[in-house]
Every structure is written in C-alpha cells, then in structure tokens.
Amino acid sequence: MVLTYATRRSALALAQSRALVEQFVRAWPHIQVNEEQVVTTGDKIQDRPLSEVGGKGLFVKEIEEALFERRAHFAVHSIKDVPGVVPPGLTLGCIPRREDPRDALVSPAYGSLAELPRGASVGTSSLRRAVALRAVRPDLAIVPLRGNVDTRLRKVDEGQCDAIVLAAAGLARLGLLHRATEILDPERCLPAVGQGALGVECREDDVQTRQWLLALHDEQTSRCVRAERGVMIALEGDCKTPIGAFAECLEAADGSRHLRLRAFVSQPDGSLLRAGERRVAWPVSDDEAEQLGDDLARELVSRRG
C-alpha cells in the first residue's frame, strides 16, 4: 500500500511533516509513504506582512488542491495556518500531540525581554505578537519581519533588529531551540491559536486514510486546539485580527481536572484590547471544547463597547 502526503517545502514544514510520517510508519509499517512538496502563495510572497496579502489561507490553499486532485491522501499543516472552516469535502483527520505552544525570544545581545533597552527593535510579522509585546513593553519598536526561520535568525544575527520572536515549537523541530534567549510565559505573550500543534487534513470520504490517521491523534491536544479555534471562528479571525488563545488541561490538588482557556483580541493597532478566561471540567467533547471558545469570544465581543 502506498500513500502520498502533501507539505510545504520550507525546512520547518519538511521537518515537522517527516517527523509525523515517521510516527505514521511505525504505527502502520506495511504502508509506504511518499512526499509531495507544494509551494504555497504564502511561501512566494515574502516582502509584505501577511495581514496585507490575505492571511491564513495563503499557506494551505495549494496543499488542499493536492487533496482535491487526489495527488495526495493527506496533508500536514501547522494548524495555526489553517482557517477556522475547512473546505467542504475535507476534514482534519487527526491532531497529533502538541509541541511547546509558547513564543521564544531570540536576541544575540540581551538575555530576556526585560533586558532589552528602551526603544529596542523587535522583529515579527505577527500582529498578535506585536500587540502582546507592546502590552508589556510599550517602549519597544516593533518592526515587520517575514521569511523562514533561518532567514529571520540571520537578520537578527546581522543586527537588522535587536531581537525577534518565533514559535518555540518551530525552533525545537529544527534543532535550534538553543537559539532561544527566553521562552515567553503565556501570561505575558499569549500564543496563537493552535501554536505548536499540527493538523493533518484529508478527504472526508477517504474512510481508510482517516482510520489510519487516528493512530496519531491526541485527544487532549485536540480538545485544547478546538477550544482555541472556537475563539477564532467566533471572532472571524484572520491575520488581520490580533487574536491570542491558549487552552490547557490542568489538574487541581484534589485530582480533579479542568480545561482552562485564555484569549485576547484587539484592534490591529493594539487598541480596544480585551482579555478573558473560561474553565470547564475535564473531560470535554469536541463540541463542548469549541463551545467554550465560542462563549469566551462572545464575552470579549460584548465588552467592546
């Protein structure tokens, strides 16, 4: 049996896809898996912020076409790149166990966010990161920075900015976590929806592939990501909207567990910043997790006035 999966061809996309496929082959050793590399619109446009050129779908559209055209059986995405609603005929076949969801600061000269001097420049292409950073350090100069991980690391090493902020998971998957100067606590920099998690997409009618993919599914990660995506869907979020959302399953001293969801949303310039939190007893279903996100999002919207 031979299956083909589709992936972006960036170093990070290949690293995370191939690591997942290794797990797949261990679960199903009788299956041979081939790779189809796809260059997406988001990969082609590197000179403008994502908020100016179309947002999340830029990194998945061409990959989804490979599924529709049956050139691939499944596709591996960073789930934070996947829009809230997947196209009819496709589905998320599994959400594997999540890597570190936090952001990481990289600075050749300074040891932490607190050590950056007043007026220091921090590179990021994320409105969400810009808003979160300004909330704790309004004196910083946030500068736009696109490119793959290696490109952004090179730019900070060359002194084009004093620091950059990247996903810790991306650095870890590339074997570059040692470059992180500081891992930013979610209390100060709330992660992006689904950050650190993968989403494996396939055709809805491909029952056999969906069954195979379930071997890689992680229920706890799935519930947390669905809660975060519930926030994004209710807020109709895209790359033009600064949204942070982070859900985690926590255990109390008495052994009880609950799902804690935190989120924020603001205007693109950081104004009208609203943050909130919801908790629900664990375990929860997919629908309950998404409803938790929807409820929190509606609370944030109601506080706009």
Q: What is the DSSP letter of 160?
A: S
280 three-state secondary structure: strand
Q: Dihedrals φ, ψ of 103, to 5°?
A: -90, 155
Sheet containing strand 103-106, edge to edge, reads 141-143, 121-123, 163-167, 103-106, 182-184
CA distance 141 to 32: 49
CA distance 60 to 65: 9
User: What are 263's two structure tokens?
Assistant: 């989120």
Given CA atoms 107, 269, 192, 59 in this order, what sign does their dihedral have?
Answer: negative
261 three-state secondary structure: strand
Q: What is the DSSP letter of 121?
A: E
Q: Which residues are catalytic?
A: 81
* In the chain, alpha helices (H): 11-27, 41-44, 50-53, 61-68, 127-136, 149-157, 168-173, 207-213, 219-234, 286-302
Q: For residue 138, give Cα distances in angstroms to 65, 253, 264, 304.
A: 42, 37, 17, 22
Q: For residue 125, give Cα distances in angstroms to 26, 47, 79, 167, 240.
A: 37, 11, 17, 12, 11
Residues 169, 129 contacting (CB under 8 angstroms):
no
